[in-house]
Structure 1
Amino acid sequence: MTSRTKKLKMDQEEKLKEEQNKKETLDDSETSGEEQEEDKKRKPVVKKAPSKKAPAKRAPAKKAAATKKNNKEEEDDEEIDEKDNEEIDEKDNEEKEPATKATSSSVSIATDNFEEPKVEENSQMKVISWNVAGFKSVMGKGFNEYVEKEKPDVLCLQETKINPSDINKNSMPKGYEYHFIAADKKGHHGTGVLTKKKPLSITFGIGIAKHDNEGRVITLEYDQFYIVNTYIPNAGTKGLLRLDYRIKEWDVDFQAYLEKLNKDKPIIWCGDLNVAHTEIDLKNPKTNKRSAGFTIEERTSFSKFLEKGYVDSYRHFNPGKEGSYTFWSYMGGARSKNVGWRLDYFVVSKRLMDSVKTSPFHRTSVLGSDHCPIGIVIDLN
C-alpha cells in the first residue's frame, strides 16, 4: 500500500469517527431536552448586571510608580476585619483568625434555638445577613446546624472567600438553593446567598467592571421588593489608601444602582456595610475618628444616602440603644468585653417600613466569625 493510499484511508477513518461523535451528541441532547426545559422553569433567572464600559484613560507617565501604589492599596484593603481602639490592636492581615479555632466538635456556632421572632410561614419572610469571614472556615464550625436552627428564608453571606466551583453541593444545607460570586483575586472578598423562597431573578454585580471584579454584590428580585446583599469596600486600615475610591467611586456608583432599583420596587439593602454611622455604633468613637469605617467622609456619605428615602431599620426601632454591635476584633478578648462596632445593617426603602413590624435582631451568641448574623422579618402581604 502506497503512502498516499494509507493517508486517504486514515482520513476516511477520522471522518467516520467525527460523524459518529456528532450523532452521539445529538442523541444525548434530544434525550435530555425535556428535562432541561423543566429545569429552566423551576430555576430563577441568573444574570450579570449589564456592563458599563469606563472611558479610555491616558496611561500615567510613571507607570511603575502607579503600579506599586495600586499594589499597596490592595494590601491595605483589610475589609475592617479589625479595628484599632483603646483596648484592641489591629490584626496583621485579612486572613488572620483566632488563635484557638472553634469547631463543630468543640464550640458550636449555634448555641440557641432561635425561637424568636416568630415567623408566619406564608405571609412573612425571614432574611439573615452574615459576614462569615471565610465560607470554608465556617462550614467546619457548625454552619449547617445554625441554618437548621435559624430557618431563614433568605441567607445573605459576605466575605465568603471561595470560588463557587469549590463548593461541595452535598455538604450544603438541605432545602436551599445557593449562588456565590467570587473576586478575581483568589481568597478575597466574595458574597453568596442561600434561598428557601425562590427569587424571580438573581443578578451578580452592578454592571461596572472595576467594582464587580471583587464579587461584592448579589441582588435577589422578589414580587414585592429587591434584596441587595453587599460587602462594601473598606477604606483601608493602613493609611486609608482606598478612602477616595470608597467615597468618590464605589459609593457614587453603588448608590446610583440602588436608586435605579428603588424606582422599580422597594429595596432591602443588607450586608457588611463597613461603616459605623454614629458614635453609639462603636465602643470607642474618640480614638477612631480616622479609622476606616468611622471617618467623617464615610459617615456623611451614608447619611446623605439615607436622606434620599431609606431607613436604618435597626436604629428606627432602637434610636438610642448603646452597646449593640455586630463586629468584634479577634484580639484582646474584644467579644467577651463587648468592645465592638455595628457594621452590619438592613437599610430599607422608607415606603417598605410598614412591612417591618419588629426590630431587626443581632445573633450575638453565634460564633465562628468576627461578625455575628443579623436578621429581619418582612411582612409579604
Structure 2
Amino acid sequence: MKLVSWNVNGLRACMGKGFPEFLKAEAPDMICLQETKMQQEQADFEFPGYYEYWNSSIVKKGYSGTALFSREEPQSVTFGIGHEAFDGEGRVITAEYPDFYLVTVYTPNSQRELTRIQFRMEFEDAFRAYLVTLKEKKPVIVCGDMNVAHKFIDLKNPKSNIGNAGFSYEERGKFSELLACGFLDTFRHLYPERASAYSWWSYMYNSRANNTGWRIDYFLADERLENRIEDSRILSEVMGSDHCPVELVLKDEE
C-alpha cells in the first residue's frame, strides 16, 4: 500500500506544474494534500479512480485547506478535530479504514517573530488529544505539513534558526510530545542518520538548487504498525510546489 502526502501550495497552480502527471505515474492508494487554497466547487479537474474529500478554509478563502483522495472508499470521514477555534481553517481530515485511521494535517505556521505561537501551541495540544482518542479505537497514521523541523539533522542551517518559526524550542517540544504518545517518525525511524533530506525549500536565494531546506513534511505511524513499514521516502525530485511529496509504503497486513 502506497500513501503520499504533499503540500501543493495551491492545487490549481500545482495542476499546471505536473500534478496530474505525478498522480498518474505514482498511482498512490491514498494521497493527502495540504494548502490546497481552494474550495471544492472551484475544481475544474477530476481525479478518476479516487474518492475525493475536501476540507477548505471557511474563515478565509484561498487560504490553508486540505484534501484526501483515496482509491478505497473509507468507512467514515471526518473534518476537523471538534474544536471550533481551529476547524474553520480546514486543517485536518480523518479517513477510517478497516485497520487504521489516516489523518492528514496542515499544522499552523507560527509566523515570523512567532506572532502565532500561542495559537499553534493550543492547536498542538488539541490535535494531540484528538489523535490519542483515535488511537484508543485502532492504529493511526498521521501525515502532512507539520511546520517543524524536529532535530538539527532536519534542516540545513539549524544553529542560525534556533528560536525561529519551525525550529523553536516550543514547536520541537510539542513534536516530541506527540511522538511520545506512541508514534514513529517513519523516515527517521528507518534512516536515523540520513542528512540533507529535506521536503521544503524557500523560493528565495536559490534554496532548492542548493538544497538549503527543511524536513517539515512527515508520515508518523502508530508504533503498532511498525512491522508493516516497508519504506518512507522523500520525493525531492518532484517539482510543482515549494514542498516535495513524501511517501509511506506499507506491507499488507499479515
Q: Secondary structure at the match of 1:264?
A: coil
Is the aligned partner of 1:245 residue 2:115? no
CA contact (8 A) 2:102 2:141 kept: yes
Give the aligned partner of residue 72 of structure 1: none
CA contact (8 A) 1:234 1:246 kept: yes
Extract structure 1 runs of 4+ deviating beyond 3 A. none
| Cα deviation code 1:200-230 (max 9, x no counterpart) | 1111111111100000000010000000000
Q: Give the structure-2-normalised TM-score.
A: 0.97
Give the aligned partner of residue 304 of structure 1: 177
Cα drift, residue 142 of structure 1 = 2.1
Cα drift, residue 173 of structure 1 = 2.5
Map 1:1-381 → 2, pairs under 5 A: 125-168=1-44, 171-184=45-58, 185-237=60-112, 239-247=113-121, 249-357=122-230, 359-381=231-253
Between the two proteins, what is the percent identity of the paired residues? 46
Cα drift, residue 251 of structure 1 = 0.9
CA contact (8 A) 2:18 2:239 kept: no
Rounded Cα–Cα distance in structure 2 between residues aligned with 1:135 and 1:180: 12
Unmatched 5+ residue regions in structure 2?
Answer: none
| Cα deviation code 1:176-195 (max 9, x no counterpart) | 12111111201100000111
Rounded Cα–Cα distance in structure 1 between residues aligned with 2:95 and 2:149: 25
CA contact (8 A) 2:80 2:92 kept: yes
Structure 2: which amino acid aligns with 1:146? F
Which moves more between the two structures, 192-201 or 332-341? Answer: 192-201
Rounded Cα–Cα distance in structure 2 between residues aligned with 1:243 and 1:126: 34
The CA RMSD measured in Å over matched residues stands at: 0.9
Which moves more between the two structures, 371-380 or 129-138? Answer: 371-380
Rounded Cα–Cα distance in structure 2 between residues aligned with 1:333 and 1:243: 28
Structure ranking higher in helix proportion: 1
Over alpha carbons, which structure has the higher Rg?
1
Cα drift, residue 363 of structure 1 = 1.0
Equivalent pairs counted in the alignment come to 252
| Cα deviation code 1:114-150 (max 9, x no counterpart) | xxxxxxxxxxx11000000001101112211110000
Cα drift, residue 313 of structure 1 = 0.7
Rounded Cα–Cα distance in structure 2 between residues aligned with 1:206 and 1:284: 34
CA contact (8 A) 1:224 1:380 kept: no
Q: Secondary structure at the match of 2:250?
A: strand
